[in-house]
Amino acid sequence: MLLLALPASAVAQSPGPAASSPAPVTPVYGYEVVRTFPHDPTAFTQGLVIRDGVLIESTGRNPSSVRRVRLEDGVVLQKRELDPEYFGEGLTEIGGRLVTLTWNNGVGFVWNAADLSPVSRFTYAGEGWGLTHDGSRLILSDGSPNLRFFDPATFAETGRVAVSLNGRPVRQLNELEWIDGEVWANVWQTHYIVRIDPASGHVVGIIDLTGLLPAGAVKDPRDDVLNGIAWDAANRRLFVTGKNWPSLFEIKLTQAR
């Protein structure tokens, strides 16, 4: 166990005097690569889920898309492109439907998970970054330290929780995944995934994926960053990738260094 401070850009500085008691120790996990799969290096990955052994991925930039991808070889089996005015963001599947966000249009889309046919659209306030669900609520990140909760039937916001590490707000929460009662979130432009207690917002663990992708494997290290978490609950497999990464990785966590 050790204490890891996320980059200053991600962790807001708390005002006032320093706490008199030592900060609690947050566990930090490493990783082992189980298997490496091809990934479309033109896919600016924003959301990632796995359904019946097939990856479903949302991408950003223009044109943004929602796509079904064969895991074994990275072949795009089916793709729907968004209209040019929309910059695609996070993705989740709930009740046989896919829900996707847009960055700053305030518009989300609902798709049939089986064939990507459009079902409906909805609106929400603010930006959309990452999306997951806990079975009864959609959970949205918007780059702020907050996770926001929405009713998946009405898309009305029902609450929010502030995310913090040792009492300091954690910003830049990006792609999300629900895993064993926790929200796992990429921290944008870092090598870290934070594990969040959705009731309190406390970061209860940090995953350090430094070195996962070889240096020089992407064109722009400022933009082509770690982003994309998919959890295969039935087989307990964890997949991660990044924006414009040429590889997708199945990994398992290791004990803190």
Q: Which domain CATH number covers 123?
A: 2.130.10.10
φ/ψ of 55, rounded to 5, equals -80, 140
Residue 170 lies in a domain: yes
Lowest mean pLDDT among 5-14, 45-54, 195-204: 5-14
Domain range for 38: 28-254
User: In this predicted model, what pLDDT tens digit does every residue of 80-95 receive, in sequence order?
Assistant: 999 999 999 999 999 9
Of 8, 42, 14, 48, the C-alpha closest to 185 is: 48
Residue 231 lies in a domain: yes
Stretch 17-22: mean pLDDT: 50
13 in a domain, yes or no? Answer: no
Amino acid code (one letter) for 119: V
Instruction: Quick: pLDDT tens for 146-199.
Output: 999 999 999 999 999 999 999 999 999 999 999 999 999 999 999 999 999 999
Number of independent structural domains in the chain: 1
131 inside domain: yes
> pTM for this one?
0.92
Residue 209 lies in a domain: yes
- Measured between its terminal Cα atoms, the distance across the chain in Å is 7
Q: Is residue 148 part of a domain?
A: yes
| Whole-number pLDDT of residue 19 | 46
155: in domain: yes
User: Which residue intervals of 139-183 are DSSP H helices?
Assistant: none
Residue 4 lies in a domain: no
Q: Quick one: which of 52, 126, 36, 147 has its CA closest to 93?
A: 52
Report the C-alpha gap between 174 and 134 in whole angstroms.
17
Mean pLDDT of the chain: 92
